């Protein structure tokens, strides 16, 4: 059987692609490794109420000691990825994709729904000046942004950030602010003129978290359990759309398949993979192949198909700095157990040199133990700090745009190991100082001296390996519809296409672009 379309991957971009095809009535075959959660804790209700009454070892640490992953492996994964119920997101990574990391830490996922199972769901549109160097305009993305806004259910507001975050059409009301975030936001409003003059703007985030019931899903109840559970209806994940598409028979989903390469002959593409249950090699035939396996894995499949073991493809990510924000009047206050433990506010630093995006994150979701090691005191004193000081801290995730100075690379070795190389990112420290100063004006105690500089790869916004160009050159560039140069019918549909990423969580734009490409392929199929 020859399929019209095969999509590889069920992450945010693969699902957006399938959604795009479903608009045109085309039913693609989706090939995926597709790991699913093995266990569910079944807690329903507030994380803290649960903990007061129950031994939470299985929920917080897990029988395989997943909750201690960072200590046991000397790493610093985001806490959500170490929650036992989330372990399926990164399950078997080491076996399924062997990597050699030389300065670049790559996060991959072979889960049904991909990395987005663990995302913060900050879903932002790009504005015109953020798509620079790309043969793509905001106008072209607009209809897909709109459809996705409906599908996902995005909370947000029409505020000072609307000019940076694009149209507010279809947004649900914003979520409630935590007490500290409220304090910060009211200080911002008091000092707004001065801050705006310096290019600093604050407002509500665009989150794929429901502030109201939407599309048959329940609204967020401020229970701080989303970090620990893999099936929270209020926090959108692509796996939800996948299930809907499967139910409507708008996609044929086949999991347990690791795609390795393709070969093409006169418009007929053969996709080669391995069935993971028995290790048997399998083949599928199609006329259009859409690679949405995530930047790193799509690049691997392309290099492998070309048997190219020498080319180093460029790899970009957002350099990221974490700035703790202390609110002295909250020291010793009781922990706000019913706050939204996620991004509460965004701050845009529209500096003349470059624009930075800050996400102000409330820290009520993770285990308190995460904070224990952040203090420099003796063990029992650290426990006190953890208890009394962690209630007074927010953290600002400060994203920088990708730039040529901080270029990393990916290369496939003959033994199938991917080498990911990067030197330590260089940061413009003056900008961090200016951002810290602005945050002080908004009432937070902070300084660029306590900033934590994240290692390359930590932002988990990978892109740039197979860039989209108006006129693609060479074998590793794509045209403006994602078609890989020198190939008939092979399309790239994920972050690989973006040669630049603005200082912004980029996944929503990757999804909109993926739908746009699906729409283009659909039209071509119809024409032929």
Partner 1 sequence: MPEFRNEADKIYRCLFEKTVPDDVAERYSQVIERIERIYPDDVRDVRKCIEQCKDLEALEIYARHTGKLPLLSAKFKIMVFLAETLPENYGQYINERDRVFLAYILLGTSVIRTAFKFIRGAIAIRVLRQ
Cβ closest to ligand FAD, residue 258 vs residue 517: 258
> Per rule CB under 6 A, is residue 107 in the interface with ligand FAD?
yes
Identity of the residue, 200 or 258, whose beta carbon is nearer to ligand FAD in the bound complex: 258
CA distance 305 to 489: 14
Nearer to partner 1, 312 or 381 (CB): 381
CA distances from 112 to 26, 289, 318, 391 (A): 21, 19, 25, 35
Residue 17 within binding range of ligand FAD, rule CB under 6 A: no
CA dist 289 and 296 (Å) reads 17
Q: Residues 11-35, buried b or exposed e (16+ Cβ, 10 A)?
A: bbbbbbbbbbbbeeebbbbbbbbbb
Among 7, 18, 33, 138, binds ligand FAD (CB under 6 A): 33
**What does the buried/exposed string (b/e) look like for 199-219 if buried means 16 or more CB atoms within 10 Å of the residue's CB?**
ebbbbbbbbbbbbeebeebeb
Q: Which one of partner 1, ligand FAD, none interacts with residue 259, CB within 5 to 8 A by kind?
A: ligand FAD
- If DSSP states are collapsed to H, E and C, what string results for 65-103? CHHHHHHHHCCCCCHHHHCHHHHHHCCCHHHHCCEEEEE
β 281-291/2-8 pair status? parallel
- Compute the distance between CA of residue 514 and CA of residue 522 in angstroms, rounded to an integer: 12
Contact pick of 121, 161, 320, 386 for ligand FAD (by CB under 6 A): 121
How many residues would you count in the chain? 528
292 contributes a contact to ligand FAD by CB under 6 A: yes
- Placement of tokens 């399998």 in the chain: 282
* Interface pick for ligand FAD out of 116, 239, 251, 386 (rule CB under 6 A): 116
505 touches ligand FAD (CB under 6 A) = yes
Residue numbers at the binding site for partner 1 (CB under 8 A) = 48, 51-57, 59-61, 65, 67-68, 71-74, 329, 331-335, 337, 367-369, 372-373, 376-381, 383-389, 391
Contact stretch for ligand FAD (CB under 6 A) within 26-34, 98-106, 130-138, 143-151: 26-34
How far is Cα 421 from Cα 498, in angstroms, rounded to an integer? Answer: 19
Q: 524: which 2 tokens?
A: 């071509």
Query: With CB under 6 A as the contact rule, which of the stretches 139-147, 257-265, 437-445, 480-488 interacts with ligand FAD?
Result: 257-265
Q: Could you say whether residue 11 binds ligand FAD (CB under 6 A)?
A: yes
Q: Give the pair of three-digit tokens for residue 68.
A: 């201690």
> From the CB of 495, what's the least distance to ligand FAD, in Å?
5
**Could you say whether residue 494 binds ligand FAD (CB under 6 A)?**
yes
Using left for φ > 0, alpha for ψ between -120 and 50, and beta otherwise, residue 214 falls in beta
Residue range at the interface with ligand FAD (CB under 6 A); choices 47-55, 244-252, 286-294, 382-390: 286-294
Burial group, residue 169, by CB count within 10 angstroms (0-12, 13-18, 19+): exposed
Stretch 60-89: interaction string toward ligand FAD, x if CB under 6 A: ------------------x-xx--------
Residue with Cβ nearer ligand FAD (206 or 434):
206
**Cβ-based nearer residue to ligand FAD, 80 or 183:** 80
d(CA 28, CA 250): 8
User: Which partner, ligand FAD, partner 1, none, binds residue 14 by CB below 5 to 8 Å per kind?
Assistant: ligand FAD
Query: What is the nearest approach in angstroms of ligand FAD to the Cβ of residue 190?
Result: 29
Among ligand FAD, partner 1, none, partner that 61 touches (CB below 5 to 8 angstroms by kind): partner 1
Listed in sequence order, the DSSP H helices in 198-280 are: 238-247
Report the interface residues with ligand FAD, using CB under 6 A.
Answer: 8-14, 31-34, 78, 80-81, 107, 109-111, 114-116, 118-122, 257-259, 292-294, 297, 301, 460-461, 494-495, 505-508, 510
């Amino acid at each position: 059987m020859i399929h019209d379309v095969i999509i590889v991957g069920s992450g945010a971009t693969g699902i957006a692609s399938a959604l795009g095809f479903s608009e045109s009535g085309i039913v693609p075959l989706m090939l995926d490794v597709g790991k699913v959660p093995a266990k569910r804790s079944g807690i329903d209700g507030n994380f803290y109420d649960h903990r007061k009454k129950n031994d939470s070892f299985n929920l917080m640490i897990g029988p395989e000691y997943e909750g201690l992953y960072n200590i046991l492996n000397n790493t610093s994964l985001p806490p959500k990825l170490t929650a036992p119920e989330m372990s399926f997101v990164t399950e078997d990574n080491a076996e399924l994709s062997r990597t050699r990391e030389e300065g670049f830490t790559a996060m991959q996922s072979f889960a049904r729904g991909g990395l987005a199972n663990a995302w913060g769901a900050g879903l932002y549109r790009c504005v015109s000046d953020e798509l620079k160097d790309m043969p793509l305009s905001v106008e072209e993305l607009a209809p897909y942004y709109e459809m996705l806004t409906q599908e996902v259910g995005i909370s947000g507001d029409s505020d000072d950030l609307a000019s940076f975050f694009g149209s507010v059409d279809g947004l649900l009301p914003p979520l409630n602010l935590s007490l500290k975030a409220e304090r910060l936001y009211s200080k911002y409003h008091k000092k707004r003129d001065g801050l705006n003059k310096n290019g600093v703007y604050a407002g509500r985030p665009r989150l794929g978290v429901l502030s109201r019931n939407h599309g048959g899903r329940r609204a967020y109840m401020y229970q701080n359990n989303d970090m620990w559970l893999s099936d929270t209806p209020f926090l959108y994940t692509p796996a939800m759309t996948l299930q809907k598409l499967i139910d409507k028979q708008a996609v044929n989903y086949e999991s347990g398949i690791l795609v390795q390469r393709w070969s093409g002959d006169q418009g007929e593409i053969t996709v080669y993979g391995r069935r993971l249950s028995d290790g048997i090699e399998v083949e599928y035939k199609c006329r259009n192949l859409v690679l949405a396996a995530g930047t790193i894995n799509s690049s691997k499949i392309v290099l492998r198909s070309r048997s190219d073991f020498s080319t180093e493809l460029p790899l970009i990510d957002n350099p990221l700095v974490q700035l703790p924000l202390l609110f002295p009047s909250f020291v010793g206050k009781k922990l706000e157990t019913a706050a939204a433990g996620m991004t509460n506010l965004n701050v845009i630093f529209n500096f003349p040199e470059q624009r930075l995006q800050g996400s102000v994150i409330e820290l009520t979701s993770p285990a308190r133990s995460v904070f224990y090691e952040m203090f420099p005191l003796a063990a029992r004193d650290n426990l006190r700090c953890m208890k009394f000081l962690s209630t007074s801290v927010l953290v600002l995730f400060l994203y920088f745009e990708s730039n040529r100075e901080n270029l990393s690379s990916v290369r496939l070795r003959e033994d199938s190991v991917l080498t990911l190389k990067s030197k330590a990112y260089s940061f413009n420290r003056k900008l961090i100082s200016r951002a810290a100063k602005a945050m002080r004006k908004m009432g937070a105690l902070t300084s660029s001296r306590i900033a934590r500089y994240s290692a390359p790869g930590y932002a988990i916004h990978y892109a740039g390996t197979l860039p989209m160009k108006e006129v693609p050159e060479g074998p590793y560039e794509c045209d403006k519809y994602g078609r890989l140069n020198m190939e008939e019918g092979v399309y790239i549909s994920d972050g690989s296409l973006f040669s630049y990423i603005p200082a912004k969580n980029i996944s929503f734009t990757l999804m909109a672009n993926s739908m746009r490409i699906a729409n283009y392929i659909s039209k071509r199929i119809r024409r032929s």
